[in-house]
Structures are given as structure tokens and as C-alpha cells.
Amino acid sequence: MASDAKKTRQFENGSAAFDRISSLPTSLMELILERLPTHDTARTSVFSKTWRNVWGMHPRLHLDEHFISQLVSQKFSELDEQSKILEVSRIITDIFSAHRGPVLDFLLCIPRDLPIHQSQDMVTWIKNIANSGVRKVELLNESQDACIVPSHFFSCSQLTHLTLMNCILNPPLGFEGFRNLISVELVYVTINADMSFGTQLKELEMEICTGIEHLGRQFKRENNLTFLSIIDSEDIDWQWFECTQKMEVLRLGMDEVPSSGTEMITLDKLLCNMPRLSSLFLDGFFLKILESGAAILKKFPRAMENLKYLYLHRIELYDLIQIQHVLCLVRSSPYLHTLDIDLDHGVQSSDGMDLLDLATLSDHMIRLETLKIYDLIGSRAEFQFLKLLLASSPSLKRIELKMKDIVDDPTEELRISQELLQIPRASNSAQIQWM
């Protein structure tokens, strides 16, 4: 009876509950830590010495925006900005000191109103993760001033995944790249010297980046790139695309002509070195500038037999060059599964569809199954384009349409649906769905 009473008192005091928590298998503790926010992860160290040891060896260290904002609001809300930076930096340094195991997955978010990257401790943090064999790094800078990535970063020899936002890369002279890096995402990043991310790189995404001309060494014959995305980034070197035989996914989008000194290439030359290409994203601007003064082909000399998904952004059906390129892409992709088009109406001065010989164009049948068109306004050019696609797609099963937001007429969708049903088409089983 006395023993039972003692156990009851222990349970009431919470010690029995803590004993059960501390007796969990280490693997289960690690799974729990993976699912907790950083602030709560650190607090588990008070449970017991066992939890403190597991936390100290946990390979994931995410210092996200929620963690830092919570830290500031709870402890330093009354301080001025510089004092907040010093205090937050000190705590992050203390976390590294208490973390005895290797940091393999590191995320640091720099808040918009707290530029902690200006602290001298930033060098220590990057040196720490470089020495611990970090494999995944996410450095997300939301402040106004760009973050200069410390030089120790370039010694992260085990790095496999990298994400940088609003950063500046100053690679050391002769930097040959990372041995194991396979995925890179750059947003608002400036590259100031020649470099390569390494021959193992498979995925490269760049959005609103400058200095990308310094990546020429990345595009050598031995490169392993399968995914490339370049959006609104300056200085594309079109010679890169002579070494893209392994490319499976390509995304290109831009608002103005690249300032690269290399000569622009035609659409067929851009894609002819990508026999494995399965997914392609292009915007209307590229479909204009890639003409390079040459005659637009009705069909590429070599079919893109692996292309299954084609996404075209900001397409003007009043622009003859864009329309011809779109149709050339479709006709050159005999196994195309999904065509996704986002329309841009621009200046509707002429109807490019009227200038095409629809009878001859519809002779090429394609295996299209899903057609998606966004921002319709119900124009004649749109119906002409839909007429052509419907007549050329005997396998079409699904048509998804979305009206442009400025079209505020509830009867317009019904009118367009009725007119589409009257268009002669190769497939009578295609279902029309409005989004």
C-alpha cells in the first residue's frame, strides 16, 4: 500500500510522466524533435539528461523567422535595433556552443527588420556548419541589405542542397565547386566572380539574379543538369545550351532582352540539344526574341518525343510570331500530354490567328489529353486557337478554362461553353471545366 501511494504521489508530481518521456527510444525522440519548432526543440533539453543529449546531437538546426521573432518578443522587445541584433546573435552562438553534434541541415532566416547578418558572429556560424559537414543549407535574407556569404561557406565539402535568398557570393579565386552539391535555388542573388557549383549538380534555379554569366564553368560537357530554371535573370549565355543533353525540365522567363554578348539563338536550336526534355516552361517574351530573324519552322527537324508537359506564360494570340512558335512546339511534340497556357492580351491591334492557314495547320494530330487556358476574355482569336487545338487532338479528355478577372459577366462562361461545344473537334469525350 505504501508503495502504491508513493507511485501515486510521483505521478501526481509529474515525475512518472517525465520518466516515461525519458524512457522513449532515441529514434522516437529524434522523430519528435524533427516535428517541433526550434524554440520547443531546445526546451526539451530540460526534460532530462537523456533529452539534453539527444537535442545536443540532433542534426537539424532551423533558426526560422518564427523562432527569431518569438525570441525578440519575449526577451528583447524593448531594445533598440542594434542591441536586438547583438542579443539574438549571442543566443544563436550559444545554441551552436550547446549543440555538440554535427549540423547537417541548417536554416537561418534573417527577418526584414532585424539584419542579424551584419553581426560578426555570422562568420562563426557558417564556419561551424562548414566544419560539421553540413549537407543542406537555407539562408533566407528578408532584410533590405544583401547578405555577403562568408568565405567559410565555400569549404562546405559535403553540401548537397543549397537555397540562398538576397545574398552575395564572392567565390575565392580558383574555386572548383562543391563535390556533392546536387540542388541549388537562388533568389535575388549576385555572383561576383567565376565559379561552378560542381559537376554533380542536377537542379539549378535562378530568379532575379545578377552575375549569372560567371557560371560558364557550370555548363561544360561533363555537367549533369536535368532541371534548369532561369527567371528574370540577366546575362544568359546561349552557348550554355550546347551542353544540355541530360536536361529533363527547362523553365525560361524574362521581361527584357538579356544583355549577354552572345548571339541569340532560334527556338529549334535552343531545344535540339535536349532529347530527354519532358517538361518545358517558356513565356511569350522568349517566344518573340528567340526568333533571331530566322524563318519560323512549322515543325522542328527532330521531334521532341519525350515532351509531355508544355506551359506557356503570357501568350498573346494577337502576336503572329508567338502563335507560330506555339504551334511549332505543339506539332513537334507528338506525345504531348498537357498544354497549359496563360494568356496576355496586351495591345490587341491585330488578330494573328487570321493570318494563319488553319486548314494546313490542323493536319498534324497530337496526343494531347489535358488543355488548360487561363485569362480568357472570349475574343475571336481565342476561339480560332481553340478550334485548331480541338480539331488536332483526338485524345483530348479534359479542358480547363478560366476567365480573366476583369470579365465580370456571369453569363460569359455559359456563352463560351456553348460556342465551344459547337466547334468541330476530333474528340467528343473532352469535358469542359471552368476554374
Give the pLDDT confidence of 342-371 residue by residue, as tens digits.
998 765 545 555 545 544 445 567 889 999
How many CB atoms lie under 10 A from the CB of residue 239? 13
Task: Tell me the C-alpha distance between 258 and 213, whole Å.
Answer: 11
Cell numbers linked to 130: 562548414
Instruction: Report the pLDDT value the prediction gives residue 180, as an integer from 0 to 100.
Output: 96
Q: Which CATH class is domain 284-435?
A: alpha beta
Q: What percent of the chain has pLDDT over 90?
A: 41
Whole-structure pTM value: 0.84
Residue 393 has pLDDT above 80, yes or no: yes
Task: Tell me the C-alpha distance between 378 and 343, whole Å.
Answer: 12
Span 57-62, mean pLDDT? Answer: 78
Helix locations, 226-302, DSSP H: 267-271, 284-289
Domain ranges of the chain: 23-57, 284-435
**Digit-coded pLDDT (tens) for 313-345:** 999 888 888 888 888 899 899 999 999 999 987
Task: Transcribe 48-85 into DSSP letters.
Answer: -HHHHHHHHH-SEEEE-HHHHHHHIIIIITTS-HHHHH
**Digit-coded pLDDT (tens) for 176-210:** 899 999 999 999 999 999 999 999 999 999 999 99
Task: Tell me the C-alpha distance between 60 and 134, whole Å.
Answer: 10
Instruction: Report the pLDDT value the prediction gives residue 293, as an integer from 0 to 100.
Output: 46
**Digit-coded pLDDT (tens) for 109-166:** 999 999 999 888 999 999 999 999 999 999 999 999 999 999 999 999 999 999 999 9
Indicate the average pLDDT of the chain.
82
> For 394, which DSSP code?
T
Please name the amino acid found at residue 403: M
Helix or strand or coil: residue 391?
Answer: helix
Instruction: Report the pLDDT value the prediction gives residue 169, as an integer from 0 to 100.
Output: 98
How many CB atoms lie under 10 A from the CB of residue 32? 15
Please, are residues 272 and 300 in contact by the beta-carbon 8 Å criterion?
A: yes
Q: What percent of the chain has pLDDT over 70?
A: 77
* pLDDT band at residue 46 using 50, 70 and 90 as cut-offs: very low
Instruction: Report the pLDDT value the prediction gives residue 45, as an integer from 0 to 100.
Output: 44
Q: Name the nearest CA neighbour of 310 among 288, 342, 285, 352.
A: 342
Instruction: Report the pLDDT value the prediction gives residue 274, as an integer from 0 to 100.
Output: 94
Task: Transcribe 132-185 into DSSP letters.
Answer: TT--EEEEEE-SSSPEE--GGGGG-TT--EEEEEEEEE-PPTT----SS--EEE
Instruction: Report the pLDDT value the prediction gives residue 262, as an integer from 0 to 100.
Output: 56
Sign of CA dihedral 70, 75, 80, 85: negative
Sign of CA dihedral 145, 157, 135, 231: positive
Please, are residues 417 and 400 in contact by the beta-carbon 8 Å criterion?
A: no
